[in-house]
Amino acid sequence: MTIYNIALIGFGGVNRALAELIATKNALWEQDLGFRLNIVAVSDLQLGSVISPNGLDAKTLVEANFSKGGFGQLSGGSPDANNEAIIKTAPADIVVEATFTNPIDGEPAVSHCRWALQSRKHVITTNKGPVAIAAPELNAIARAHGVRFEYEGSVMSGTPVIRMAERTLAGAEVKGFEGIVNGTSNFVLGRMEAGVDFAAAVAEAQALGYAEADPTADVEGLDVRLKVVILANELLGASLKPEQIKCEGISRLSPSDIKAAATANRRWKLIGSAVRNTDGSVSGSVAPKQLPFSHPLAGVSGATNAVSLDTELLGDVTIMGPGAGRIETAYALLSDIVAIHAARSTCGMKEVA
């Protein structure tokens, strides 16, 4: 039976949800997936850091109501976060990077991933920043050190759009895609269609936990732009940077725009797209578009995400599923570990009779 020791960098909603799953699902994973997960370290900006070579109790981590610096109360703990030391010295096989997304330079997450890979530790992340900005570099480091860099959850949360396209649709020849990959903006547009004005719809999204206190990244398309870069580079072999993607959000849409579209049997959606051009180059964009009701993306509502892949052999193939949520995103991390396990990597693996 295989045990993977993991270090959690960030202990907000996503990594906390992964710890919840470890506390309740480890026995099932051992039976169905062939491995168990053992948390040996955690570092968090608010809670501090802790290392335990023999493992930390996942249930205690989840249920204890730690205050600021609370990890300092634990054996091997400190009230201060020390991400670099945890990443480099913890006896972990896999580092789980789930800190905040920086859309400018990807830091500090890029450095977190780089340190882990250079330490011959696998990295899994849901963080869009390092994937959109530094994936080629990080993948090269991973290959050079015999480990893997996995990031399924960076787009569409736990819905496996990247692996679906690369593995299940291998050979179908993806030529482009268009998608709804931001649940907040999609929710806001749906509420506006129901007659709620933009500001009130954003406030509703914030109250429901879909939108941050500053919703700019969602409603102005900045979050979608990072995801377009990730998908274009991953599925179309592009080398795009975020600044190369034309980007327009939904804040300029008025109630009259929404009403006029409905009258014409059309619906506004914030669409992220990319296409391979005839000269082999790839171009992408983010913009609100009017879609006819018959379009496969027109009926995608609420916080649901969907991507329609344009393939040479199958035509359009649409993948739809949850685009947000703590447990859903934690599942993406699990799927990355499944991929690492399936690759039969022996790096840092501990075999137990």
Active site amino acids: 227
Report CA torsion sign: 294, 295, 296, 298. negative
Length of the chain equals: 353
Tokens encoding 243: 């600044």
How is residue 177 written in tokens? 């895609």
DSSP H helical segments within 208-285, as ranges? 216-219, 222-235, 255-263
With the C-alpha atoms ordered 322, 327, 330, 336, is the resulting torsion angle positive or negative? Answer: negative
Could you give the 3-state DSSP secondary structure of residue 280?
coil
Convert 14-37 to b/e letters by CB count within 10 Å (16 or more is b). Answer: bbbbbbbbbbebbeebeeebebbb
**Was 212 annotated as part of a binding site?**
yes
* Range 66-74, long-range pairs (CB < 8 A, 24+ positions): 71/42, 71/44, 71/47, 72/48, 74/50
292: cis peptide before it, omega within 30°? no
50 vs 171: CA distance, rounded Å = 46
Place of tokens 């009779």: 353
Known binding-site residues for NADPH equal 128
Known binding-site residues for L-homoserine equal 212
